[in-house]
Structure 1
């Protein structure tokens, strides 16, 4: 069975759980930016958690089923498409994902998973390193795997949909002492706006400049998803799925992994607040 891509939208990639454990070789994990939504989509069609699926940024994807197949859509809700429940897509039928009213990333799972060739044990597209399959283009034909698991016990899932303004807890980072108390107060007292320069690497936040308490260069250190790094501009960057393995700017704080899923749904113009 295959799906044919008729239109990819602004950005659609294949994602799974990523490539954990390869940071020492300079390879980031990558994988779905909103892991919880991806896991739910797979669960709804009876896939293993490791099954590959499509991450659709800002809607616009149109696919055609070349044979009948079950699909499920989670994450950002796209108008007119079945949501948070398995849906049958008949042979020759098209599924069109319109831009979501809230949120940024939608996850389309197909029963059996998207069966593109893995690279270093994963089918994920890593936009920073260039590993994995290319972002989808019109005319791509995606093979689907064979379902090996039974259907789940429920067929509808209650979900917390994305919001336009999000507040998450901030944990101290390893270089929090590089910033004075005043900068920390600014960090937690500002409504940070997500900029259009954001991507799967990180959320770039617009707001007041965070001044340092000390000057000097910082040797490159290991980076993790959820790190809040402050570059020379003084405006923080929150690292997402395709973050670099190392970085040379101070990390003022960290956001818990589950909250990073929610942050990954913030679109340009949305607001992020950090609670200390």
Structure 2
């Protein structure tokens, strides 16, 4: 068992989501930064899709109530065990009564904490993920919550540390497949000109963008678009002209035109981008 002593702005339980429910109006959800979740699970010897903690900016404190094997990945949040600093993306062994504390991340947006055996809360529609848009899945974590830990796997290896770079606050370059509604815009190439900034109006549903420099996007067709399906990474442009890159908890349908779709491999980069961070799109064909 693992007790939550403190939480930061938002901490939820996430796995790799619940695909296959679009026909029932339920999105996939799951970890916003899937690569960081997978890495944390691999470090502790779990299957990659085991449930873990996703913490916005860090600020979490966890108390071990039995021996636990943990790993922390994702955003660059300083971590300590009983006050002793520990490395990022390393395997941590906690004895009963020891505390893992995460400070606030200096770069990146989301921190992941995996425990060997996975967080064993009851699944909903086949997943332990919290969908913040629909309210499906376990409630966001609160101080005093006790998290059950599953049976540790037997045959997965454990390593000491993974030599991976933490997310940086530098400008991101994100690849985009134009369309399917790029013909609705009079100046589609403007998406790839200049830089955008991650807005403070950003969450697990999507990252809203503000123009830093370059021309604004202008609609050619001002009519109404019938509601259609929305994919992870879709760049939807509402009448305000501020694009939104859809993330893990995005709606499965929408009525604003999608000018392009971020390639799947780059969605995790957007999920770790902080408000005020610069982003540049480049076409991927």
> What's the TM-score bracket when you normalise by the shorter of the two chains?
over 0.9
Q: Which residue does the alignment assign to 2:83?
A: none
Matched, 1:267 2:267: no
Find the aligned partners of 2:94 and 2:75 in 1 and give their Cα distance: 20
Is 1:117–2:116 an aligned residue pair? no
1:104 corresponding residue in structure 2: 109
Give secondary structure in 2 for the equivalent of 1:244: coil
Instruction: Say yes or no: does 1:156 pair with 2:161.
Output: yes
Query: Does residue 1:201 correspond to 2:200, yes or no?
Result: no
Gaps of 5+ in 1: none
Check the 8 A contact 2:108/2:273 in 1, yes or no: yes
Q: Quick one: distance in 2 between partners of 1:5 and 1:161?
A: 25
Is 1:210 aligned with 2:214? no
Work out whether residues 77 and 106 of structure 1, in 8 Å CA contact, stay in contact via their aligned partners in 2. yes
Cα deviation digits, residues 135-170 of structure 1 (max 9, x gap)? 001111101001123342633212132122200111
Q: 1:178 aligns with which of 178, 184, 206?
A: 184
Looking at structure 2, the residues matched to 29 and 127 of structure 1 have their Cα atoms a distance apart, in angstroms, of: 11
Divergent runs of 4+, >3 A: none
Counterpart secondary structure, 1:88: strand
8 A contact 1:48–1:149 mirrored in 2: no
Shift of 1:42: 0.2
Structure 2 unaligned segments of length 5 or more: list them.
81-85
Partner of residue 3, structure 2: 4
Query: What is the number of equivalent residue pairs in this alignment?
Result: 273
TM score, norm. by length of structure 2: 0.93
Counterpart position of 1:257? 264
Residues 196 and 209, structure 2, Cα contact 8 Å, conserved in 1: yes
**What TM-score, normalized to structure 1?**
0.96
What is the CA distance between 1:85 and its match in structure 2? 1.6
Residue by residue over 1:227-262, the C-alpha shift from the partner in whole angstroms, topping out at 9 and shown as x without a partner, is 000011011000000000100000000111110011
Cα pair 2:130 2:138 within 8 Å, conserved: yes
2:196 aligned residue: 192
Cα distance in 1 for residues equivalent to 2:251 and 2:94: 38
* SS of equivalent residue, structure 1 residue 195: strand
In 1, Cα distance between the equivalents of 2:154 and 2:128?
20
2:42/2:158 contact within 8 Å kept: no
> How far, CA to CA, are the matches of 2:116 and 2:69 in structure 1?
6
Distance in 2 between the 1:134 and 1:80 partners?
24
Tell me what 1:229 maps to: 236
Helix, strand or coil at the partner of 1:43: helix
2:30 matched to 1:31?
A: yes
Q: What do you get for the CA RMSD once the two structures are aligned? A: 1.2
Q: CA deviation at 1:13?
A: 0.3
- Shift of residue 184 of structure 1? 2.4
1:241 equivalent to 2:248? Answer yes
- For residues 149 and 49 of structure 1, the distance between their equivalents in structure 2, rounded to whole angstroms, comes to 15
Q: Find out whether 1:66 has 2:57 as its counterpart.
A: no
> Are residues 136 and 153 of structure 1, via their aligned partners in 2, closer, same or farther at CA, if it must alter by over 3 Å?
closer
2:149 to 141, 144, 166: 144
